[in-house]
Chain A
Amino acid sequence: MLTEHVNIMKLLDMAEEIVGRKKFQKVVYIGKQLGMPFQEKYGFHMYGPYSEELSVRLDELKQFGFVSEVKEEKAGYSQYRYKLAEPGTSFVRTSSSFQGEQEKSVIDEMNACSSKFLELTATILYLQPAERDSVIARVHKLKKTQKYSEEDMKEAFLCIERWRTLLKRA
């Protein structure tokens, strides 16, 4: 019981802070695809894989006072910062969930990426297991406005492999 909520809190505990709803969505999706125990259901939306379930779960955690969300006004849009609140920290540290150095490394690496890059990585994972060339062609078609370069694509595939290998060792 509460396992799914605890997993999300554990992620925040390890990441310390996640800035941006889009980044939050993609970190959980990529983590899930690479074997972390997230259960949220995803579908394909404007910025790639997106989970309404995760969005509502975050609202629940906010409502219980376990997670803090700070809204910042940016030029033309709003940005949200997520951290564990104190009751959340004490609760998650007494609950069992996934943890480990490898998981933390992968989460830290993902958290250091831009949300645009994570959107690319998550989209690639969504379109797999098709052939690499076919995935790249579909990404270009679906994400025309993001104008991803060949270098971005190469980097995204490399990250997926590196993170997958790290998590296999966990």
Chain B
Amino acid sequence: MTGNERLKEEKVFKDPVHRYIHVRDQLVWDLIGTKEFQRLRRIRQLGTTFLTFHGAEHTRFNHSLGVYEIMRRMIDVFHGRKHWDEENRLLCLSAALLHDIGHGPFSHSFEKVFKTDHEEWTRAIILGDTEVNRVLLRMGEDFPKEVADVIEKTHPNKLVVSMISSQIDADRMDYLQRDAFYTGVSYGHFDMERILRVMRPTEDQVVIKSTGMHAVEDYIMSRYQMYWQVYFHPVTRSAEVILNKILRRVKVLHDDGYDFKQQPNHFIPFFLNDVQIQDYLQLDESVIYYYFQMWENESDRILADLCGRFLHRRLFQYVEFDQSFILHDWPALQEKFRQIGIDPDYYLVIDFSSDLPYDFYRPGEEEERMPIHLLMGDKKLRELSRESDVVEAISGKKRTDHKLYYPADLLDQPEFEEEKREILTMLRV
């Protein structure tokens, strides 16, 4: 088959966030059916957040369908309007559906440790020898590259790029609502129907009719609250810190020639920095969990302990710290840990907000990202924070947080009592 055909009968997915997700194109239906897209069912959207908010078990699959649905509705609003070219409909829908196709399990930690980049994998999966690529090729030889360029934000059509990736786009509108729904928090809700109705295409971006400003204020506020209350929750970060250390420990042991009871077969291409698409696609959360369960029985005490902590949610405690701590106490604290036989490389971790950066809404200045523009009654554009006191109040404000994580349970045990007292003093607990 070449090109796209309308499905004889519309397919619908029941969805708790958008109620229904409507599929009317054979192209979209076939993309959903590819093994690379189905793999997203085995990757949670929020990584370790389920250890804090037990409902957060939703996957990249749910989210990707949600982004597709929002994009579909956005296109309905744009239909027939100036600057919108209906020829780009399938390009937008494909990009929306596939924008996260390169995510692996626990992406943030995995990428930090193994220096991989899910955006590069997204491109590789779309352009490489995959089922996704074969489906996209039906639309023409250049179509996969166009889809990859839209996702990478290097496509020359800036309007299309902004629909999937800008300060108010289909991706963010889905994940905020979906993450709020599944975590069960009361933040993260905003009137998306209203925002969609007041979105207007321009030559190089989507803008918002000024009458919709209050709905956008809610959306910006949701982003702010979700970040601090959910995404950067210190308990979630604690789990992430342990996960990161497990991956580092496995790599160190492998490099040192340690004799694993359970060889890290799926990880070896990553250790060797020689990963093919098929190696990458074989990894999902079920595979990672299998290894963690097996490694809990390894003779390496650090690896076994960290895996046990992650599997059974025995997480690290945390404290705040300041400049004086970094300058004066940090090296001494590490030394104290060594003295009592706890390796600080694995059990004393500083976690910064730059480890999980969040794109706060910031207006113009010398910033690199297009701000949200309101379309005023006189047809002129005004940057959102110049009109909205609410947005102005939170734009570019508190952006950083940092904590020191440590295993409080190990400091409770009756050995090295004097050293442990000194450690607790240094930790100020």
Binding site for B on A (CB under 8 A): 1-2, 4-5, 20-22, 25, 41, 43-47, 50, 52-57, 59-60, 63-66, 77-80, 87, 90-91, 126-127, 138, 141-142
Contact = CB atoms under 8 A, between A and B. Distances in A.
Nearest to A44: B153
Interface of B: 111, 117, 119, 152-154, 156, 322-323, 326-327, 330, 349-350, 352-354, 357-359, 364-370, 399-400, 402
A144 B344 CA distance: 51
Nearest to B348: A1
A141 B353 CA distance: 35
B45 to A, nearest CB: 19
A66 B327 CA distance: 10
A45 B357 contact: no
Given A52-B359, A53-B357, A87-B327, A77 B153 contact: no
A65 B323 contact: yes
A60 B365 contact: no
Contacts of B402: 60
B350 A2 contact: yes
Contact of A79 (B153, B353, B366): B366
Given A44-B153, A91-B327, 6 more contacts: A1-B330, A41-B111, A52-B358, A54-B354, A56-B399, A64-B323
Given A21-B366, A45-B153, A52 B327 contact: no
B354 A60 contact: yes
B376 to A, nearest CB: 19
A21 B354 contact: no
B368 A66 contact: no
B326 A64 contact: yes
B365 A127 contact: no
B47 to A, nearest CB: 16
A58 to B, nearest CB: 9
B368 A46 contact: yes
Contacts of B400: 56, 59-60, 63
A64 B369 CA distance: 26
Contacts of A65: 323
B368 A50 contact: yes
**Which of A44, A56, A66, A80 has the most B CB atoms < 10 Å from its CB?**
A56
Contacts of B323: 64-66, 87
A47 B368 contact: yes
A11 to B, nearest CB: 15
A43 B119 contact: yes
B52 to A, nearest CB: 21
B348 to A, nearest CB: 8
A142 B156 contact: yes
Given A22-B368, A50-B368, A138-B154, A1 B327 contact: no
A127 B154 contact: yes
Contacts of A57: 352, 354
Given A59-B399, A91-B327, A78 B366 contact: yes
